[in-house]
A and B are shown apart, each in its own frame.
Chain A
């Protein structure tokens, strides 16, 4: 196996990396977490609830713009890898959400007595559902990227 020089690895990383997309991604997660935490409280005034509900929207718009900007910076090979990963992840995510919906209908949503980080318990489980959906896409990307780039 040929060792990739460090300079080349850094050049690859610089080409792929865009700090705005990373920061916007973290911001969306943070705003969603905050919003989830607040709207889960039962005694909120309806106007305040609406305000918390729409809190993640600006972050989402920014993250979507950054995602598009990052995708445009990619070359055709990486766009192909992203496309293949989405081809795998999209149906799997649908299956996952459909399965959760089926389980919820059959047994009710799993609610424990307590959840970490001060989250309402039901919110904690929904966050888990979303995190697994994101993990499906990350694993699909890793598998496809590995298939095309790792020396065999």
Chain B
């Protein structure tokens, strides 16, 4: 699964730590998601989408 989390985070000039704080997860989790090594659970994916004000499918794309 590919995602636009890093792109969206950088557009807001947020650090990984800031996004981690917003989502109540660790910074390593954000890094692992951005690098594509870890696919978040559905609740976390929803939280990420809500955080950026987008739909899940606008952030996460199957494949890749």
A75 touches B15 (CB 8 A): no
Cβ 8 A contact of B29, one of A5, A8, A11, A75: A75
Once A and B bind, how many residue pairs between them come within 8 Å at the CB atom? 44
**CB-based closest 3 A-B pairs:** A77-B29, A75-B25, A8-B17
Cα of A76 to Cα of B44 in the assembled complex, Å: 9
Given A8-B15, A8-B16, A149-B31, A15-B38 contact (CB < 8 Å):
no
- 21 CB < 8 A contacts A-B: A4-B27, A5-B17, A8-B16, A8-B17, A8-B27, A11-B27, A12-B28, A75-B24, A75-B25, A75-B29, A76-B25, A76-B41, A77-B25, A77-B28, A77-B29, A77-B33, A77-B38, A80-B38, A148-B28, A148-B38, A149-B32
What is the interface of chain B, defined by CB distance below 8 A to chain A? Answer: 15-17, 24-29, 31-33, 35, 37-38, 40-41, 44
The answer to whether A16 has its CB under 8 Å from any CB of chain B is: yes
Which DSSP category, helix, strand, loop or mixed, fits chain A's interface? helix
What is the interface of chain A, defined by CB distance below 8 A to chain B? Answer: 4-5, 7-8, 11-12, 15-16, 75-78, 80, 147-149, 151
